[in-house]
């Protein structure tokens, strides 16, 4: 995108927010970089340089604009759509792998040498793994400085910096100010409580939250998820401890309140919440393609900006998909709730009814099969999947090659095409995942004049690479709680 200078210039001159996150605008005369929709007067074209990432602009010596805050815009939708090495690396960096395991750990997960990985990232993104992780740490640091009362030394450690000096230097380089000055600009009293932070999660318009939150709440596992006071709440298993998040839709953003045992998990928790709600999607591109199909055009016009509900925990979603095979939503919730009560780690939620974390594959793999109250065939499949996940025979982390993950799932006895595609859609975040044999999809597709069976698969080729979004529109034709915003009008 950033190589198409004419298109980028038009976006900057129009202050088009649709391109926020796709590229960044660096101004050589001021030394700052902005998002395309920055409200400032557009600079002269000869003074503009375009960068693919904030990290690239920072590496070139530019600092973040204090007016438009380019570090806080939605991420590029490319990284969800693509499944190549660069996209997989970006997803893992967002999940905090570099901070926890370093660049060698990232390279090992991706199966490439460190030198080759750095070369590919520099060639496309203008920054290597360390630069990309540094940009993420800078954004986390600003959030903590401006929205919490944490001492600045604690902020440095929580944001992932190795030292207070490194923290101070990075904030000066990126924001052209000191951490103390950043906090001094905050006018309201900052909350003194440790472990709680409230942030706004931006997204690209349009945004249709009904089926997104409706699905999460209708399929919620008691004790792990709930709808309370206008927010979807759930427990989180994070690298350094547990957490609780409350997410509620607003017209311009999603309101997010996080309670964390360890503030080092902040950036990871935010990335996972964004992935859960599909907030980095490009709804205009999705809707434009689906509208070309006369059968879907009225559905898209009625609810533009639908998102695909995903997950904050890939193994959890895979296990829940198997539990949900050939049973109702209510039955799947009951089965999952039993596992949670018997195997999940307990948490304390003074503000609501969350009681547990969802069990890990390791815990489930060691359970006595006699304790699982479900049909024998499904019991065997659940245990096989749990063992495969625990042993690493199946890998579903954000940086996995989706084709490889599909092949690993298919090879596991008891997991069929429907389950594989459901996992691809919600756990792997594949925007082109498709479930043509789903009974709801078959029935509702017929209701709008679409063919069945092989004919539907052939017809759906025109929806690529957004077939997962087409499924959301088809499901929305049914009268089911998953399609309704909790507390809203059916």
Alpha helices of 148-253 — where are they, by DSSP H?
Answer: 152-158, 164-175, 179-184, 210-218
Model confidence at 66: pLDDT above 70: yes
Q: What is the spatial distance between Cα 311 and Cα 325, in angstroms, rounded to a whole number?
A: 18
Residue 363's CB is within 10 A of a number of other CB atoms, namely 17
Catalytic residue (one of 349, 397, 401, 438) = 438
Q: What is the spatial distance between Cα 171 and Cα 182, in angstroms, rounded to a whole number?
A: 9
Strand 48-51 relative to strand 24-27, pairing: antiparallel
In this structure, the dihedral spanned by the alpha carbons of residues 218, 220, 222 and 228, taken in order and rounded to 10 degrees, is -80
Q: What is the spatial distance between Cα 101 and Cα 152, in angstroms, rounded to a whole number?
A: 24
Is 438 designated active site?
Answer: yes
Q: Which of 383, 341, 368, 276 is nearest to 333 (CA)?
A: 341
pTM for this one?
Answer: 0.92
Q: pLDDT of 376-421, one tens digit each?
A: 888 999 999 999 999 999 999 999 999 999 999 999 999 999 999 9
Q: Which residues contact 352 (CB under 8 A, 6 or more apart)?
A: 226, 228, 233
Catalytic residue (one of 34, 38, 73, 256) = 34
What domains appear along the chain, each with residue ranges and CATH number?
5-70 (3.40.10.10), 78-147+150-184 (1.10.10.60)
DSSP 9-71: HHHHHTT-GGGBTTBEEEETTTTEEE-TT-SSPPPPGGGEEEESSHHHHHHTT-EE-TTT-GG
pLDDT for the residue numbered 482: 85
Residues 352-366 have a mean pLDDT of 96
pLDDT for the residue numbered 194: 63
Structure-block tokens of residue 93: 């960096």
**Do residues 60 and 26 make contact, with C-beta atoms less than 8 angstroms apart?**
yes
Residues 160-185 have a mean pLDDT of 92
Average per-residue pLDDT in the chain? 92
**Do residues 279 and 208 make contact, with C-beta atoms less than 8 angstroms apart?**
no
What SS3 class is residue 75? coil
Strands of 63-64's sheet in order across: 48-51, 24-27, 32-34, 63-64
pLDDT for the residue numbered 374: 83
Model confidence at 489: pLDDT above 60: no
Residues 186-213 have a mean pLDDT of 83
Model confidence at 490: pLDDT above 50: no
Residues 166-172 have a mean pLDDT of 94
- DSSP run (H or E) holding 209: none
Q: Rounded to 5 degrees, what are φ and ψ at 327?
A: -135, 165
């Amino acid at each position: 995108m950033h190589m198409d200078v004419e298109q980028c210039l038009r976006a900057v001159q129009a202050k088009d927010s649709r391109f926020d996150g796709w590229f960044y605008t660096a101004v050589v005369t001021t030394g700052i970089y902005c998002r395309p929709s920055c409200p400032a007067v557009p600079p002269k074209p000869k003074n503009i340089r375009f960068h693919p990432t904030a990290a690239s602009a920072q590496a070139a010596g530019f600092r973040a604009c204090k007016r438009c805050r380019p570090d806080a815009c939605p991420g590029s939708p490319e990284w969800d759509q693509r499944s190549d090495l660069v996209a997989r690396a970006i997803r893992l960096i967002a999940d905090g792998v570099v901070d926890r395991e370093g660049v060698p750990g990232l390279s090992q997960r991706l199966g490439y040498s460190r030198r080759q990985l750095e070369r590919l990232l520099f060639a496309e993104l203008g920054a290597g793994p360390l630069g990309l992780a540094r940009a993420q740490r800078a954004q986390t640091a600003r959030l903590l400085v401006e929205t919490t009362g944490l001492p600045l030394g604690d902020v440095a450690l929580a944001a992932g910096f190795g030292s207070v000096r490194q923290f101070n230097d990075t904030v000066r380089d990126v924001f052209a100010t000191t951490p103390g000055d950043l906090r001094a600009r905050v006018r309201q009293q900052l909350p003194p409580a440790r472990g709680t932070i409230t942030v706004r999660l931006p997204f690209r318009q349009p945004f249709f939250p009904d089926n997104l939150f409706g699905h999460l709440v209708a399929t919620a596992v008691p004790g792990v998820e709930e709808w309370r006071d206008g927010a979807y709440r759930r427990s989180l298993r994070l690298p350094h401890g547990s957490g609780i998040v409350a997410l509620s839709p607003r017209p311009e953003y999603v309101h997010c309140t996080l309670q964390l045992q360890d503030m080092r998990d902040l950036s990871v928790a935010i990335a996972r919440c964004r992935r859960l709600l599909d907030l980095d999607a490009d709804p205009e591109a999705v809707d434009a393609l689906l509208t070309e199909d006369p059968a879907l055009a009225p559905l898209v016009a009625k609810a533009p900006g639908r998102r695909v509900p995903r997950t904050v925990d890939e193994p959890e979603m895979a296990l829940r998909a198997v539990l949900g095979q050939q049973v109702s939503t209510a039955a799947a919730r009951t089965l999952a709730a039993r596992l949670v009560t018997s195997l999940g780690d307990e948490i304390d939620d003074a503000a609501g009814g969350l009681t547990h974390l969802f069990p890990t594959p390791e815990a489930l793999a060691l359970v006595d099969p006699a304790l699982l109250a479900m049909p024998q065939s499904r019991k065997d499949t659940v245990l096989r999947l749990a063992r495969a996940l625990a042993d690493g025979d199946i890998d579903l982390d954000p940086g996995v090659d989706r084709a490889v993950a599909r092949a690993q799932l298919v090879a596991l006895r008891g997991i069929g095409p429907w389950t594989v595609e459901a996992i691809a859609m919600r756990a792997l975040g594949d925007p082109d995942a498709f479930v043509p044999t789903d009974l709801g999809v078959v029935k509702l597709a017929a209701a709008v004049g679409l063919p069945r069976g092989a004919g539907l698969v052939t017809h759906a080729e025109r929806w690529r690479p957004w077939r997962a979004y087409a499924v959301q529109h088809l499901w929305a034709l049914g009268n089911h709680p998953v399609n309704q915003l909790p507390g809203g009008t059916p």
